[in-house]
Amino acid sequence: MIESKTIKAGQSSWIARNSARASWSASKQKARDCANNGRYPDEYLYAGGISMTGPGHILNPHRDSSHDKDRECYRVLNLLYCVSPDWSLEKGGNLEVWPEGTKAEPTTIVSRFNRLAVMVANQHSWHSVSKNTSTEQRCCVSNYYFSNHPVGDAEYFHPTSFRG
Ligand SMILES: [Fe+2]
């Protein structure tokens, strides 16, 4: 990333050359990982990063977008690392997964401090966050892993979509 500052004559081509080289290098790495059926973390934190669920807040059942920002690779793993100290079931703000669909009952995973929840991400991966009934912020750090292969045999594409 280039910060906003004055660029002298001659520097722009150097920047363009090196940006192109960095981009090509990243694409090459991505292609190699994909060719090996590898899974790799999203270095851009597209829809990832730090999330906060404030008091009274809720995140309705949804499935995350199926692909990366360039729609080149499948999002296959969703990682949520819980960082709110002393979190308990009674506070709400817990992760809910819906393995039988959103018309069945969810499985609740308490957002306990230092817990890493790893979910498969595909067209069936409905999940939500229950209402935060506490007076505290529920915080998580999240990221995704990608692959050039879908989870399962069928290809699919969907944007982030909500129910409820
Ligand atoms: Fe999500």
pLDDT tens, residue by residue, 125-161: 999 999 999 999 999 999 999 998 898 888 989 888 8
**40 CA distance to ligand 1 middle (Å):** 18
Residue 24 CA to ligand 1 centre (angstroms): 30
C-alpha of residue 63 to centroid of ligand 1, in Å:
6
Q: What percent of the chain has pLDDT over 90?
A: 57
DSSP helix/strand/coil, 47:
coil
Does the model's pTM come out above 0.85? no
DSSP 91: G
Residue-level pLDDT at 44: 83
Homologous superfamily of domain range 40-162: q2cbj1_9rhob like domain (2.60.120.620)
- 52's tokens: 């906060």
